[in-house]
């Protein structure tokens, strides 16, 4: 049962990832990506797996250390709950990256592979995105909210 829930957690998030990667300019994609409700089905699976191991989960977060966390992940429901949590947060992160990429005008051929990287290794995907975002954002002059476009400073 837990193995099925483990697999299901990714399959519940996959349609939203596919929309952002394969249909990034389709109007409903942006509307769907703007909703935090996309993670609710995955969070339900998280609860189904976390409740039976709640004492171990509580120990792992109340007083975190590597051995307590290892004990939690040695339990099928513990590992499944952690996986569902990762899937949910990765999806929220991917949705933010998708929306922010659109706002900044980052092209779909750039964002698509970056979102795939985020699905697989979200910290790497986030770091690349943050670097790209920093390069795309207009700089502001100190004490002025007007973007610095590289022109002469005005008094």
121-136: pLDDT as tens digits: 999 999 999 999 999 8
89-106: pLDDT as tens digits: 999 999 999 999 999 999
Q: Rounded mean pLDDT of 80-91? A: 96
From 120, 93, 99, select the one nearest 10 (Cα to Cα): 120
Q: What six digits make up the tokens of 108?
A: 């779909």
Which residue blocks in 34-75 are alpha helix, DSSP H?
A: 40-50, 54-62, 66-74
pTM confidence score: 0.84
- Rounded Cα–Cα distance for residues 50 and 132 (Å): 36
66-78: pLDDT as tens digits: 999 999 999 999 9
From 106, 99, 93, select the one nearest 134 (Cα to Cα): 106
- Rounded Cα–Cα distance for residues 83 and 95 (Å): 18
């Amino acid at each position: 049962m837990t193995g099925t829930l483990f697999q299901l957690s990714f399959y519940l998030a996959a349609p939203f990832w596919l929309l952002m990667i394969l249909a990034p300019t389709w109007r409903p994609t942006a509307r769907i990506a703007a909703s935090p409700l996309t993670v609710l089905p995955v969070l339900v699976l998280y609860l189904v797996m976390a409740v039976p191991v709640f004492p171990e989960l509580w120990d792992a977060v109340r007083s975190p250390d590597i051995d307590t966390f290892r004990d939690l992940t040695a339990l099928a429901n513990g590992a499944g709950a952690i996986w569902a949590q990762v899937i949910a947060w990765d999806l929220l992160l991917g949705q933010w990256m998708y929306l922010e990429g659109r706002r900044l005008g980052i092209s779909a051929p750039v964002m698509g592979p970056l979102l795939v990287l985020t699905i697989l290794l979200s910290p790497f995907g986030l770091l690349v995105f943050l670097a790209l975002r920093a390069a795309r954002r207009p700089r502001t002059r100190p004490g002025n909210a007007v973007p610095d476009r590289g022109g002469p400073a005005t008094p």
